Amino acid sequence: MLRRHLLALPALAALPAPAIAQGAGGWPNRPIRLVVPFPPGGASDIAGRQQAQVLSEALGVPVVVDNRAGAGGTIGTAHVAQSPPDGYTIMMSSPSSHLGAPLLFRNPGYEGVDDFTHIATFASGTAMVCVHPSLPVRNIQELIAYGRANPGRLNYGSAGAGGANHMLGVLFMLRTGVELTHVPYRGAAPALADLIAGNIQLVFDSFSGIIGAVRAGQVRALAVTNPTRWPLAPEFPTVQEQGVADYNLPSFSAVVGPRGIPDAIADRMHAAINAALATPALVETLARGGNAPFLNSRARFLEIMQEQRGTWRELVRVSGVQPEG
């Protein structure tokens, strides 16, 4: 029921005519395939289906979602990297699939930035730094002070080694010098359950995944990890504004294709997505899932990926996670 509710996106009839009219060379004149490199039903699948609906309505052809899961997202992502750059195979991308996963497997089959055409950013999310209510801290500076006074006493849970909420903890250690012990779980839900039970002291969990527990008083939120206050919950301060400089590990979904897609095609998809992100219907739909529109130029999208590539490499190196395969 939740998935159906999130995907109920009204028709975007207000899209401008240039985004709908058929382009030079007759593209598109057949269905487009949008690969989601994760299983059906999760947040990535929801984002991919929203992207597919936006593009289908704007371009006037079916955009079919193709879930190609496995190996941390590398199977589907490698498939897209190796597809013809004709605009008929694209994918739902994220920092996890393109920056994290290639570092966690010895032969992922692609380079996460250089092997792709960067079409459009879509929606952004944030995480929250949350602690068990028994921990005597109410802000980030108190957490830092407690951690320095009690080395080895702070355990933080994540959805698994190498994922974003693991790396948010590694980044926190790098920026503050506080020692944290990572406890990997098989998903974010069991990590949150152990936090609520008091078996671990903190998590860096997605806003949508933990805000319910925060508002129920089961855990205490200290900050959001976004560099600016989160529009869906502006009452929570950021880690940066509490004195931790350069703390930023963006979380977003986007659309990319294989390297070499003609600019005319990529620009039309970019224009269609940006037009949809300006509509109240899509903004409201994203908000129900804890996300916000994330509009950037194609050039800025590429810059973000290039900037974050170095950050992810350093975090994986410091974390000690060894590639599989």
Of 237-241, 286-290, 301-305, where does mean pLDDT reach its minimum?
Answer: 286-290
15 and 102 inside one domain: yes
How many alpha carbons lie under 13 Å from residue 30 in its C-beta half-sphere? 5
207 and 264 inside one domain: no
- The range of the structural domain enclosing residue 71 comes to 2-124+250-319
Q: How much is the pLDDT for 323?
A: 87
Q: How much is the pLDDT for 324?
A: 81
pLDDT-above-70 percentage for the chain: 92
How far apart are alpha carbons 272 and 257 in whole angstroms?
15
How far apart are alpha carbons 13 and 279 in whole angstroms?
10
104 and 13 inside one domain: yes
Domain-embedded: residue 151: yes
CATH of residue 16? 3.40.190.150
Q: How much is the pLDDT for 325?
A: 66
Mean pLDDT of 150-176: 94
Say which DSSP state 75 is in. Answer: H
Counted domains in the chain = 2
Of 14-23, 101-110, 197-206, 281-290, where does mean pLDDT reach its minimum?
Answer: 14-23
92 and 144 inside one domain: no
218 and 290 inside one domain: no
CATH of residue 205? 3.40.190.10
pTM given for the model: 0.87
132 and 178 inside one domain: yes
Sheet-wide strand order for 63-67: 63-67, 32-36, 89-93, 251-258, 116-125, 292-293
